[in-house]
Amino acid sequence: MSPRAPRAVLFDRDGTLVLDVPYNGDPALVQPVPQAAEALARLRAAGIPTAVVTNQSGIARGLLTRADADACHTRLAELVGPLGPVMVCEHGPDDGCACRKPAPGLVLQAAAALGVAPQDCAVVGDIGADVGAALAAGARPVLVPTAVTRQEEVDAAPDVAPDLLAALDLLGVPA
């Protein structure tokens, strides 16, 4: 028996939906990962809303502006289709905010924006901070490792999938 599909799926951006370009503020450099468009289309077809939850400390560091980050989100949506709400933590690692993953703030904000309880959401990401934010908010994490994911993050993740479509399979999202 497959698991009950989540009522919403929240995605990390860099390394999960797009190839990671550190501190990217240039929409021309936005390149979706393989399967990003297909995964989002599958969720839309199943009637499962999505959102993006992304740490963008480059804003706090002065390496890009919020407008730059928003332009990258607009470009991503042009390439893969609607993303749903995009929740951005603009703080640096030492700012002590409640939104920077692994804190739960972005997940809680996205769930509220979608009108879904956090425990009815899944969070798909590529590093331990994504898993930590999901767990802290009461959501279900699925780790999709990349070359930068540390082995201890993989070992600690409750669910691991090799790619985005496998993550949706694991979550019970209809194909």
> What is the set of active-site residues?
12, 14
Helix 128-137 × helix 105-114 angle, to 10°: 60
Other beta carbons within 10 Å of 162: 9
The Cα 41–Cα 66 span in angstroms is 27
CA distance 133 to 89: 12
Q: How far is CA 154 from CA 39, 73, 127, 151, in A?
A: 21, 27, 8, 5
Q: Can you read off the two tokens belonging to residue 119?
A: 């425990």
Going along the chain, which residue ranges are E strands? 8-11, 50-55, 86-89, 121-125, 140-143
